[in-house]
Each structure stands twice: as structure tokens, then as C-alpha cells.
């Protein structure tokens, strides 16, 4: 089947509905509680008006859900500090070292001094054997509240427990938030606020997504008037005004293993049902745009509490379904699944010179660098002919958002991510 803008629009419409449904859920939740608590009938009309008003305000106040920013209602409203946004794995200018960067707690406004949350355990998980099970972990946890917060770094070391329940490793090194310090294993560590390194014309993406009137009148199937990204010069980086919280760790390659590795990141919180000091996973992320593009929004919660070993049957189905819906050959899905499932960032510690998906496609270090235009790479595979050389059903107007790396996002030296706004 050749085509088409309409089928692409239909698929994107469904994605957009999920997003908007989430927005509405965010607003409705407290209102529902009011009703459940017995709001008096004469207040109901006013309550509904509040719903409408809040929905409008909320939509306007939600500037970004990109890559993995605000990927579930729970993370966006109750655990923003555990909301992971982007994982980077890249080569240091020192060829003997590698850099890991975890970003979370998005949409920090210019000048906002947002504290770190000591209740969240942040983990880099490293698989050395290709089975999607972590062999080494690096754990990061903030120790206290208030000004002059300190942070502890544990590992890299073999985890005491694998999977979605974690316990803290024994050895640690401590430093201060927003200051560079020496971590364990010969590492250099920074935990603090950075310019959000992600870049994307999300504003235009939302125009490709369903008409925002859907918020006010559910499911009217509004006609889509925009089915392409904006041209160069008009496209805008929607994340340009925002900072994010970052963990950046530079360490000797051998600390992560030898040869190929798979890296993912998780956030966990203490489980009140367990009195053993165990933490339970509440988010997981590695490959950017994978969940957001292909997966139904309502499936994000479930995926966040799974392990990479469960990705093949779960995420692959979403990829195949999406590709079918936009009318493109399943060879596109095969290509995406072959490089992105399980959902880990692959790197080859024995190689120099990296490119995005380069471990799988080019035999180089691979990883993901902060400057990699992951939106364009993904879009050019899904909507174009990159990697597969499949031209059937291609939509050239969707193969790039025409936003490139923002120079403000990057530094040439540690911690490599740009200074906060
Ligand atoms: Ca997230
Ligand atoms: Ca393993
Ligand atoms: Ca781009």
C-alpha cells in the first residue's frame, strides 16, 4: 500500500489523543476526587467550568513532552524528579574513557533553583553479556534536603539484586550538588542543573498531532491541516528555554567492561511494603523517541516497570502496529526492532569513533552523543528510506524536524552539557 499523508496523520492523531487524554486525566483527577468526596450538586456546574478552564490552562502550560519528558501522568504530576528524559553514552576526548549522562526532572525554567529529591534512587544499568540483564550498576542518590545538598555515587559494581528491585551497593563516594567531584573507580562526577540537551520542534509536532480543540470536545476527529515539519529557518527548538537535572559520570572504559555493552537507566523509590531498604523501579529509559513514537501512551506505565528482557514481545508489537498503520512495509519495523529492541543504548568499548546506532550499523563505538539528531535519525528511518532503502510509502516532509543541535546545549569539556539558563 502506498501512501500516505492521511494514514500518517491518522496514526499521529491516535498518538495525540493519548497525549491529550493524559492532559485531561491530569486535570480531572482532583476534580473527580472532589466529586467523590461529596461536592454539593450546585457546585457541579462550577466544577465542570473549572475542568474546562483548567484544561485550557494546562494545555498551554505543558510546553513539552518530547523524547521521554512527562511520559506518564504519575511521573509528570507526582514524581517529576523520577521522570527520566534522556540517556547519553559517548566517548570522552580522552580515548581511554567513556561518559554516561542521565537527565531527569524536566522543564526547569530559566533561573529556577529546583532542589534534588533525596527519595529517588538513580541507576545506570550495564549489560555485558547481551541478555538484557544488568551485570554492573552505578547508583546515585541525593542525601538530604535544603541548601547545599550532597550526593552519593555507588559503583560501578555487580548489583546485589537484578531486575526491578534494588538495594544500595556498599562503597560510595560523596560530593556536592552542582560541583564536580571525584567519584568511585577513577570517575569524575557532576550532579546538578544543566541546559536541557534535547532539541526538537515540538510545537510543530503538536500541529501534526491532533487539533487542540479535541481537549474541549472529545473525539470530534478534527481535520488535520498540518502534515509536515516546518522548513529550515522557521522550525523552532521548543526545549531551548528549559533546563534539566543531570548526572554526568566520566570513567575509564574498563570500569564498564570490555567489548559491547547495553546501557539503560532507571529511577526507583523506597517501597513502604518492604522494610529491607529495597527500592522499586518506577521508570526505565534508554533509546530516545522509541516509546513516544510507537507505543500507546497508556502502555508507558507498564513499560516503565519492566526490564529489557521483556521488550522483545512487548515493544516490538507496538512498532509493527505503528508501521502498519502508517502504511509502510514491515521491513521498516524489522529495521527498528533490530537496532532498538531490547531498549538499551548499545556501545562497543573496544572501538573508537561513535555514531548513533553505530554499534549495530557501522561497527563503531555507537552510543548516543548529546549532539546526535536522534529525532531526524528515527524519523528518516520510519518515514523515509534511511537504513532500509525502502521508499514505499515514504513521507519526505516528516523525515526531519529541521531543528539541529543547539550550541547552548553543549560544552567541549566535562560535564559536556551546557550551562543552565
Ligand atoms: Ca520520562
Ligand atoms: Ca547481562
Ligand atoms: Ca532534528
Q: What pLDDT score does 299 carry?
A: 78
Q: Report the mean per-residue pLDDT for the chain.
A: 82
CA of 388 to the centre of ligand 1 (A): 29
Give yes or no for residue 169 having a pLDDT over 60: yes
Domain count of the chain? 1
Q: What pLDDT score does 11 carry?
A: 42
**Model confidence band, residue 289 (pLDDT cutoffs 50, 70, 90):** confident
Residue 128 has phi, psi (to 5 degrees) of -100, -10
Q: Does residue 335 lie in a domain region?
A: no
Instruction: Name the closest ligand to CA 204.
Output: 3
> What pLDDT digit, counting tens, does each position of 29-87 carry?
433 333 233 323 323 333 333 333 333 333 333 444 446 777 777 787 788 999 999 99
Q: Does residue 245 lie in a domain region?
A: yes
- State what percent of residues in the chain have pLDDT above 70: 79
Instruction: Name the closest ligand to CA 103.
Output: 1
Closest CA to 341 of 381, 404, 406, 290: 290
Give yes or no for residue 222 having a pLDDT over 60: no
Q: Does residue 358 lie in a domain region?
A: yes
Distance CA 30, CA 7 (A): 36
Q: What pLDDT score does 50 carry?
A: 34
Residue 319 has phi, psi (to 5 degrees) of -65, -45
**Model confidence band, residue 227 (pLDDT cutoffs 50, 70, 90):** confident
Q: Does residue 242 lie in a domain region?
A: yes
Q: What pLDDT score does 103 carry?
A: 98
> What pLDDT digit, counting tens, does each position of 100-125 carry?
999 999 999 999 999 999 999 999 99
Instruction: Name the closest ligand to CA 69.
Output: 1
Contact between 184 and 154 (Cβ < 8 Å): yes
Q: What pLDDT score does 53 carry?
A: 33
Among the ranges given (141-155, 218-232, 270-284, 288-302), the one the predictor scored with the smallest mean pLDDT: 218-232
Give yes or no for residue 401 having a pLDDT over 90: yes
Q: Does residue 115 lie in a domain region?
A: yes
CA of 15 to the centre of ligand 1 (A): 16
CA of 199 to the centre of ligand 3 (A): 7
**Model confidence band, residue 136 (pLDDT cutoffs 50, 70, 90):** very high
> What pLDDT digit, counting tens, does each position of 316-361 carry?
998 998 899 888 999 999 999 999 999 999 999 999 998 999 999 9
Domain with 242 in it: 73-198+238-286+344-370+405-409
Instruction: Name the closest ligand to CA 284.
Output: 1
Q: What pLDDT score does 326 carry?
A: 83
CA of 309 to the centre of ligand 2 (A): 10
Place of cell 551485570: 135
- 82: DSSP letter: G
Closest CA to 338 of 365, 355, 364, 320: 320
pTM exceeds cut of 0.75: yes
- State what percent of residues in the chain have pLDDT above 90: 65
Contact between 291 and 319 (Cβ < 8 Å): no
Work out the average pLDDT over 372-380: 95
Q: What pLDDT score does 67 carry?
A: 61
Give strand pairing partners of 332: none
Rg (the chain; Cα; Å): 21
Q: Does residue 184 lie in a domain region?
A: yes
Q: Is 28 exposed, middle or buried (0-12, 13-18, 19+ CB in 10 A)?
A: middle
Q: Does residue 375 lie in a domain region?
A: no
Q: Does residue 162 lie in a domain region?
A: yes
Instruction: Name the closest ligand to CA 283.
Output: 1
Cis preceding-peptide flag for 380 (omega within 30 of 0): no
Instruction: Name the closest ligand to CA 262.
Output: 2
CA of 264 to the centre of ligand 2 (A): 12
Amino acid at each position: 500500500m502506498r501512501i500516505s499523508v492521511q494514514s500518517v496523520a491518522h496514526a499521529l492523531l491516535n498518538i495525540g489523543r493519548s497525549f491529550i487524554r493524559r492532559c485531561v486525566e491530569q486535570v480531572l483527577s482532583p476534580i473527580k476526587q472532589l466529586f467523590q468526596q461529596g461536592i454539593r450538586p450546585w457546585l457541579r456546574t462550577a466544577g465542570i467550568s473549572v475542568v474546562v478552564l483548567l484544561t485550557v490552562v494546562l494545555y498551554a502550560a505543558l510546553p513539552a513532552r518530547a523524547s521521554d519528558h512527562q511520559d506518564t501522568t504519575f511521573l509528570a504530576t507526582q514524581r517529576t524528579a523520577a521522570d527520566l528524559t534522556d540517556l547519553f553514552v559517548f566517548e570522552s576526548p580522552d580515548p581511554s574513557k567513556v561518559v554516561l549522562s542521565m537527565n531527569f526532572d524536566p522543564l526547569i525554567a530559566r533561573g529556577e533553583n529546583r532542589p534534588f529529591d533525596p527519595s529517588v534512587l538513580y541507576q545506570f544499568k550495564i549489560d555485558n553479556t547481551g541478555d538484557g540483564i544488568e551485570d554492573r550498576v552505578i547508583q546515585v542518590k541525593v542525601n538530604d534536603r535544603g541548601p547545599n545538598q550532597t550526593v552519593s555515587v555507588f559503583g560501578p559494581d555487580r548489583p546485589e539484586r537484578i531486575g526491578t528491585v534494588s538495594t544500595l551497593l556498599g562503597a560510595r563516594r560523596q560530593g556536592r550538588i552542582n560541583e564536580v567531584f571525584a567519584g568511585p573507580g577513577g570517575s569524575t562526577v557532576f550532579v546538578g542543573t544543566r541546559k536541557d540537551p534535547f532539541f526538537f520542534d515540538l510545537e510543530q509536532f503538536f500541529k501534526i498531532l491532533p487539533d487542540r480543540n479535541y481537549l474541549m470536545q472529545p473525539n470530534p476527529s478534527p481535520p488535520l491541516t498540518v502534515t509536515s515539519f516546518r522548513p529550515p529557518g522557521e522550525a523552532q527548538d521548543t526545549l531551548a528555554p528549559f533546563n534539566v537535572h543531570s548526572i554526568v559520570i566520566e570513567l575509564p572504559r574498563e570500569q564498564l567492561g570490555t567489548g559491547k555493552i547495553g546501557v539503560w537507566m532507571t529511577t526507583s523509590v523506597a517501597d513502604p511494603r518492604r522494610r529491607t531498604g529495597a527500592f522499586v523501579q518506577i521508570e526505565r529509559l534508554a533509546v530516545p523517541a522509541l516509546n513516544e513514537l510507537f507505543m500507546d501512551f497508556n502502555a508507558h506505565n507498564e513499560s516503565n516497570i519492566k526490564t529489557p528482557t521483556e521488550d522483545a514481545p512487548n515493544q516490538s508489537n507496538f512498532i509493527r502496529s505503528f508501521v502498519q498503520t502508517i502504511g509502510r512495509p514491515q521491513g521498516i519495523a524489522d529495521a527498528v526492532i533490530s537496532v532498538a529492541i531490547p531498549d538499551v543504548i548499545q556501545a562497543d568499548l573496544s572501538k573508537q569513533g561513535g555514531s548513533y546506532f553505530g554499534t549495530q550499523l557501522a561497527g563503531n563505538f555507537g552510543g548516543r552523543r548529546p549532539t546526535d539528531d536522534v529525532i531526524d535519525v528515527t524519523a528518516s528511518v520510519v518515514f523515509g528510506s534511511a537504513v532500509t532503502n525502502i521508499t514505499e510509502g515514504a513521507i519526505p516532509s516528516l523525515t526531519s524536524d529541521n531543528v539541529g543541535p543547539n550550541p547552548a546545549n553543549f560544552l567541549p569539556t566535562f560535564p559536556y552539557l551546557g550551562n543552565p539558563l
